[in-house]
Structure 1
Amino acid sequence: MTAFQENIDSSMILIMGVTGVGKSYFINQLAAGSVTEGKGLKSETETCQAVRVGVGRNQVAVVDTPGFDDTTRPEVDIVGDIVEFLCTQYELGIPLKGIIYMHRITDNKVSGTAQRYMEIFRCLCGDSIMSNVILLTTMWGELKDEAVGFGRERELRKDFWNDLESKGAEVRQFDGTRAMAEALVCRLMRNGNVVLSIQEELVEQGKRLEETKVGCLIVPRLKNNIHEIGAKIEELERLICDSEKGLPGEEQSRLETERETLWIQRQRQIAQLEKLQRRPGREIATKIENEKRKQTWKDRVALFASFLGLVLTTTVNVILPLAGVISF
């Protein structure tokens, strides 16, 4: 009998941060080889992945989340996956203990992508849960001059994290070791359970995704993109009309190809906007109720995995009691 077949419910801890910040590396310190680590700019974590480990007599699923700067997937799709994950966790009553938010200390400035990620992160979480958040700087071992890292950390705390710290978030430096990864997990396990803002909005209040804080952040950008692409299409149509009066055929063909490409882009943006009109909280509540009627479940994590179509396996490299892997 595996740990997943026993009548044991896990709590959860989320690991968040942009692509390449070291989320998968952190997970692998808890259970070696449990998730794939990216070597380049391409994101290896396309959906949520988790390692379920034993911490004393308790179980915790440490969840690796995809970065919102994923190189192949639209922002709306990534938000949708994380939202579905969080709504399912909340509906099933699996306790969420906190979040580890990672930032590379090797970055010489906070990029626009990182700032965007932080905005989405705050919209998903809400400020009231910041005492359950660890802001973790990573990759200190790659610095040639540690003093540079300390300077960047001071800048982060002064210009970007000051408000989060004032609301209870804790700033730590990750030394890359298994011992510290375990210590940080244990630190959050001592916290009370937390409910995120997005969970209250979607599950308790039954909002559409576009009506939530994170939706209100995403919708204006999508609408602006749709408007700009539409304007470019109109300009191309005018040029095509003019080309029929004398421009070479090759030029007209080029303009028509460009117009077709933009039209496809616009349709994709519209489709992303339509996805935000869903009510994920209500949809997931209905699906879970239907699943519960079908079968008898011994623990909520097993139901959680089944509901999201996950495969439960065990890990060979056990580093803590009752360790195992949930591949999401």
Structure 2
Amino acid sequence: MTGTDNKLVSVAAGPVNSVPKSFRSGHAPRPNDAFIALMGITGSGKSSFISKCTDKSATIGHDMISCTSIVDVYPYEVTSDFTVYLIDTPGFDDTGRSDTEVLSEIAAWLTDSYKHEIRLHGIIYLHRISDVRMQGSAKKNLVTFKELCGEDALKKVVLASTMWDIIPAEKATKREQELKDTPEFWGWMLSKGSSVHRYNNTAESAREIILSLTGHNAPIATDLQKQMVDEGKSLDETSAGQGLRSELLKERRKLTQERQELLTLIEAAKEKHDVDTEEALQEESDRYTVLIKRAEDSAKALSISMTNLILKRDLRIAQMTKEMREVQNEYEMNFRLMRLDQIKVENGRIELENQRKLRRQGKLKSKASTSTTDTNSQLPGQRPEKGKGNMPATKIGISVSISKSFYILQSPMCLSCNEVELQEFQDGKRMELACLIAVSDQRTVWIVRYENNNWRWSATFERHYPELAKEIKSYGLNAVRLCAFGPGPGERYYTGWDEFRIYSCSPKFTKAMKSIKNNSSIGSVIAVAFGHGSSFLVSYGFENGHLGWTHDLQGYYPSLNRFLKSQKELGNKISIHAATLDPFSKTDYLVVFTDNDGRDRTPARQYGTGGR
């Protein structure tokens, strides 16, 4: 979940029961209700603040399955007849959403609640005191926050600093003073009545800040609410919208100028017949074109009325709810299948134990010829019973890929990606599978599949992977089911279609593929990850729906090796659904798996970095 902001709102005059329960997380409205909104950049500690205050878990921003990008509400029951509702808002620097989308989301909730006679008692703005200086995104976020609030609302704003426990107190105190003394930071807001608090990552500290905003009967309205609801302005006509639009146009001008400089360099490379430089510059120019288009689209998207803003929000939430229910239903079905499989295994174990008892009693002769399992053909990650894998495969639709500083993390509910060209959905279709490799510190080569089963690859894919591209073109790009590759120039790759697969890798990988092919009960390869050197990890599925896995890490990724070894010692109690090994690192990886003990149906993650 993205970071959140606390706002305190109380119901003004009007029939209490007419206010929808959606503003209260499903709770019935009461006269003493209060609302506090939390705001701040992603990672400033909003989710932690809510969790400490309410004693309930608020989803954290890096949760891959539930990437919250909407305003959410968490009740904090102060007394039996007094509830404070904490309004969790997304941060403006969320990599998965544009600032326009975030402002639209916040504006939809603020205007809808204001229209239903809900008034804010206060707003809590969270800031990491651990940040060395006010970075560009944090400064831009603060400016938007000021314009959203307006001068009148600032007297009910708490500026709360977080992360005091991770840096020396002397440094933190110095940074806090700088924030208070600088008008562009907190100084001007303090002069208008805002107050400063320190959040010490405790329930007591969080509740103290909240209660500092509830002891008054003078609720506030933000400028954004008044301008859109009372004055009927569109979002781009509000102070916050105009400020954001100005920033977007400034960004577009800067990007356009930089792209023009690249075009000049491209012409120079053409004159010198320097093809490699020309291609690299053209790829960078294409990236700038995408960024310019995105800035233009974001600026245009601000031209939206309050009614359409709320309608668009409601439709998006309805679609998200529908998709979440579908995923949950699939989890439930697979869990039931898993339980049936566990019952079969347990019954088989009991029967085997009874046979052993009979043998010991001399009532049953052992017949070696009855054993049909070829234990020599087992792969790590298989169970010994008839060569089966661990559990029914849950089709959770997760894809992960990391390479140097680049990453793609995709699930049915979320896409997190810092490769600019891949952050856009193709024709509104969701990305289902992706693999990328860094070819420099600024560029990647990638291939992706969308939910309409259409594949795309990057402009320089064929130059970096000529053999793989040739094979894919020969057999058909859109018929591909799985594709993975490692860094050049050796061209390590794996590509699978419905009926066959091609691969080029180390002898051990080839041996593993042949073992998988020769096992008649294996239906398909689920995931392939190529790592440092010739290391690899492969997950595969059986015809009966079970999963298995095999790997050769060559001594790299030690924490992953320990994890897989421990799982093997426990009887291979996991099923791996997605995996990536950073080929430029000997330690960094990410594995998504489900636990097979029946206690938890939710996909989990095992990951490692250089610090592990």
* TM-score calculated relative to the size of structure 2: 0.43
AA in 2 matched with 1:275: A
Deviations 1:98-143 (A, max 9, x none): 1111122223333333222211110000111122111112222223
For residue 187 of structure 2, what is the aligned residue in structure 1?
Answer: 162
Structure 2 counterpart of 1:58, one-letter code: F
Map of 2:46 onto structure 1: 23
1:153 is the counterpart of 2:176: yes
Deviations 1:57-116 (A, max 9, x none): 123220122221223322111111111121111112223211111122223333333222
Query: Are the counterparts in 2 of residues 125 and 197 from structure 1 also a CA contact under 8 Å?
Result: yes
Determine which of 273, 297, 302 is the counterpart of 1:271.
Answer: 297
Q: Structure 1 residues 60 and 306, CA, compared in 2 at 3 Å: closer, same or farther? A: farther
User: Residue type matched to 1:154 in 2?
Assistant: Q
Query: Which amino acid letter does the alignment assign opposite residue 63 of structure 1?
Result: I
Aligned position for 1:139: 163
Query: 2:242 aligns to what?
Result: 216
More strand by share: 2
Q: Any unmatched runs of 5+ in structure 1? A: 289-303, 312-328
Change (3 A) 1:150 1:7: closer
Note the C-alpha offset of 1:208.
Answer: 2.3
Contact 1:45 1:65 in 2 (8 A): no
- Matching residue within 55, 60, 63 for 1:32: 55
CA distance in 1, matches of 2:292, 2:259: 9
User: Contact 1:34/1:51 (CA < 8 Å) preserved in 2?
Assistant: no
1:302-321 aligned within 5 A: 309=318
CA distance in 1 between counterparts of 2:83 and 2:189 reads: 28
What is the CA distance between 1:13 and its match in structure 2?
0.5
**Is it true that 1:55 corresponds to 2:55 in the alignment?**
no
**Aligned pair in 2 of structure 1 residues 143, 89: CA closer, same or farther (>3 Å)?**
same
| Residues 159-308 of structure 1 mapped to structure 2, 5 A cutoff | 159=182, 160-191=185-216, 192-234=218-260, 247-279=273-305, 281-283=306-308, 287=311
Q: Identify the range of structure 1 (243-252 vs 168-177) with the bigger mean alpha-carbon deviation.
A: 243-252
The equivalent of 1:316 in structure 2 is none
8 Å CA contact retained: 1:100, 1:135 = yes
> Which residue number in structure 1 is paired with residue 107 of structure 2?
83
Q: Distance in 2 between matches of 1:151 and 1:232?
A: 37
* 1:4 corresponds to: 26
One-letter identity of the residue aligned with 1:189: T
Q: What residue in structure 2 maps to residue 108 of structure 1? A: 132
Q: Which residue, out of 149, 152, 162, partners 1:125? A: 149
Question: Residues 14-34 of structure 1, C-alpha deviation per residue, up to 9 Å, x if partnerless?
Answer: 111222221111100122343
Q: Report 1 or 2 for greater relative contact order, CA contacts < 8 Å, sequence distance ≥ 6.
A: 1
Amino acid across the alignment from 2:100: V
Identity of aligned residues (%): 28
The residue identity in structure 1 corresponding to 2:145 is F
Amino acid at match of 2:195: E
The residue that corresponds to 2:117 in the other structure is: 93
8 Å contact from structure 1 (residues 13, 62) kept in 2: yes
Structure 1 residue 232, shift from structure 2 partner: 4.5
User: SS of the residue aligned with 1:272?
Assistant: helix
SS in 2 for 1:155: helix
Q: Equivalent residue for 1:294?
A: none
Aligned partners of 2:151, 2:246: CA distance in 1, in Å? 22
Residue 246 of structure 1 deviates from its aligned partner by: 6.1
What is the alpha-carbon distance in structure 2 between the residues aligned to residue 161 and residue 243 of structure 1? 49
How many Å separate the matches in 2 of 1:142 and 1:194? 35
Q: Tell me how far apart the structure 2 counterparts of residues 33 and 108 of structure 1 sit (CA, whole Å).
A: 31
Give the counterpart letter for 2:253 in structure 1: H
Displacement of 1:170: 1.5
- Name structure 2 gaps, 5 residues minimum: 1-23, 322-612
Q: 1:249 to 1:85 in 2, by over 3 A?
A: same
| Amino acid corresponding to residue 229 of structure 2 in structure 1 | V
C-alpha change, 1:77 and 1:97, in structure 2 (3 Å) is same
Q: Report the equivalent of 2:368.
A: none
Cα 1:14/1:305, change in 2 over 3 Å: farther
**Alpha-carbon shift at residue 175 of structure 1 (Å):** 2.4
**RMSD value, Cα:** 3.2
Between the aligned partners of 2:158 and 2:264, the Cα distance in structure 1 is 54
Q: Contact 1:123–1:214 at 8 Å: present in 2 too? A: yes
Q: Please report how far the alpha carbon of residue 224 of structure 1 lies from its aligned counterpart in structure 2 after TM superposition.
A: 2.7
* Pair 46,238 (structure 1): closer, same or farther in 2 beyond 3 Å: same
Once residues 162 and 150 of structure 1 are traced to their aligned partners in structure 2, the CA distance between those partners, rounded to angstroms, is 15
Count of aligned pairs: 290
Aligned partner letter, 1:128: D
Conservation of the 8 A alpha-carbon contact between 2:25 and 2:73: no
Structure 2: distance between partners of 1:224 and 1:267: 13
Deviates most, 104-113 or 92-101? 104-113
- Aligned in 2, Cα 1:305/1:184: closer, same or farther, shift over 3 Å? farther
Find the aligned partners of 1:228 and 1:136 in 2 and give their Cα distance. Answer: 33
Provide the secondary structure at the position in 1 that maps to 2:118.
coil
Residues in 1 aligned to 2:100 and 2:134: alpha-carbon distance in whole angstroms: 22
Between structures 1 and 2, the one with greater helix share: 1
Taking a change above 3 Å as real, the CA distance of residues 95 and 150 of structure 1, as seen in their structure-2 partners, is same
Distance 2:235 2:315 in 1: 24
